[in-house]
Amino acid sequence: MVIHLNKSVGKEQAEELGRKYESICFNDGTRYVLVTTSKVKEADATLKAAAEATFVTDTDIQLAGKQYMNDTRSIDFGVVSIGGANNNTLVITGPCSVESEEQIEQASALCLELGVKVLRAGAYKPRTSPYTFQGLGLEGLKLLDKMRTKHGLKIITEVRDSTHVDEVIEYADIIQVGAKAMYDQGILRKCGKSNKPILIKRGFGSTLQEFVQSAEFVLSSGNPNVMLCERGIRTFETKTRFTLDLCGVAWLKQYTNLPVILDPSHAIGYAYGVADLSRACIAMGIDGLLIETHPNPKVAKSDAEQQLNFEQFRALYKSMGAVASAVGRKIV
Ligand code: PEP
Ligand code: MN
């Protein structure tokens, strides 16, 4: 159960109630909020007296659920926002990894040319093998920071593990929690202490319940700015890298209040299918798309096969508006 305490309830009293009802207690900027396990279905007299509103939830998808908040949360990136009352579909693009200043300058130039406002690129890469390119680390973050200052782009980059979570939170405008880090509660809780937007990617072996519950760790630590990213799950199929779970996306839209971003690049794993998948995703009425592009995918240091070259991305970008407007949305 989620309990909105009366605005007159101060920190000390809220924390005391939190302890008494074995619940998480945080301030949402307007009031103190308690969250008990979802097994609690009724407030007793003491809680009722202190509460302004209570929300009963079926499962531990609580703060992220429609039973708590019916509208999709609005996430503001400064230059543009998604969710809430608008019907924006945000396009995010850039290479899998920051590889050099020249490469990330080229990626920035593509964004500026098309009017894409958010540049993506990993500095700390969660590679499957320790022997492949692991990312430029702090040097990569500094290059992204340079692109932000020089070109006014917003930057999204990923946290791989706890060793650099503070650094990424400091440098990024949007913090990406990668598929392999989705279960890392240390990272999630730290992201919950920031107020920057957090994009959580679905672990490729995670159920929707587990996926959304990872968002609950961030939300219940006090950060309301959480987005979910479907990036493909592992199935029996081996011809494609993963399987993009569009049924899951429909479920997320139906039952959660979090904006949903889709990543067709990691899902299929091959550039040939990214444009078709992107348009299919837009047609589902989603809040954003994350697409990998590289000035020369053949020599990319990570995810070479799935990155679009700039010509391919330009053509895809041009085709997006018509699909978006067919479903009442706008590409931003
Ligand atoms: C990425 O976005 O480059 C990435 C590594 O994604 P994922 O965590 O979904 O594998
Ligand atoms: Mn990648």
What string of H, E and C letters represents the secondary structure of 54-66?
A: EECCCCCCCCCEC
Q: How confident is the model at residue 48, as a pLDDT?
A: 95
* Local structure of 239: helix, strand or coil: coil
CA gap 168, 165 in Å, rounded: 5
Q: How confident is the model at residue 124, as a pLDDT?
A: 98
Question: Which residue's CA is the nearest one to ligand 1's atom 4?
Answer: 178
Q: How confident is the model at residue 328, as a pLDDT?
A: 97
CA gap 65, 239 in Å, rounded: 35
Query: Percentages helix, strand, coil for the chain, rounded to the nearest 5?
Result: 40, 20, 40
Ligand 2 centroid to residue 225 C-alpha, Å: 23
Which residues have C-beta within 8 Å of that of residue 213, sequence separation ≥ 6? 60, 61
Structure tokens at 287: 């809040």
Q: How far is CA 106 from CA 64, 110, 143, 293, in A?
A: 37, 6, 12, 10
Q: How confident is the model at residue 111, as a pLDDT?
A: 98
> Which of 211, 229, 231 to mutate for ligand 1's pocket (most ligand atoms within 8 Å of CB)?
231
Do residues 7 and 52 touch, judged by C-beta distance below 8 A?
A: yes
CA gap 242, 232 in Å, rounded: 5
Ligand 2 centroid to residue 266 C-alpha, Å: 6
The secondary element (H helix, E strand) that includes residue 262 is strand 260-262
Ligand 2 centroid to residue 318 C-alpha, Å: 23
Q: Residue written as tokens 């589902």?
A: 284
| Residues 191, 111, 215: CA angle, nearest 5 degrees | 20
Question: Which residue's CA is the nearest one to ligand 1's atom 9?
Answer: 179
Answer yes or no: is the C-beta of 135 below 6 A from any ligand 1 atom. no
Ligand 1 centroid to residue 62 C-alpha, Å: 26
Residues 5-44 as b or e (16 or more Cβ within 10 Å = b): beeebeeeebeebbeebebbbbeeeebbbbbbebebeebe
Neighbouring C-alpha atoms within 13 Å toward the C-beta of 306: 24
Q: What is the pTM of this model?
A: 0.97
Which residues have C-beta within 8 Å of that of residue 328, sequence separation ≥ 6? 87, 285
Q: What is the pLDDT along the chain (332 residues), one digit of tens a residue?
A: 999 999 999 999 999 999 999 999 999 999 999 999 999 999 999 999 999 999 999 999 999 999 999 999 999 999 999 999 899 999 999 999 999 999 999 999 999 999 999 999 999 999 999 999 999 999 999 999 999 999 999 999 999 999 999 999 999 999 999 999 999 999 999 999 999 999 999 999 999 999 999 999 999 999 999 999 999 999 999 999 999 999 999 999 999 999 999 999 999 999 999 999 999 999 999 999 999 999 999 999 999 999 999 999 999 999 999 999 999 999 99
Torsion angle of alpha carbons 214, 219, 223, 227, nearest 10°?
Answer: 60
Answer yes or no: is the C-beta of 168 below 6 A from any ligand 1 atom. no
Answer yes or no: is the C-beta of 181 below 6 A from any ligand 1 atom. no
**Residues forming beta bridges with residue 154, ordered by sequence position:** 118
Q: How confident is the model at residue 312, as a pLDDT?
A: 98
Q: Residue written as tokens 């989620």?
A: 2
Ligand 1 centroid to residue 266 C-alpha, Å: 7
Q: How confident is the model at residue 112, as a pLDDT?
A: 98
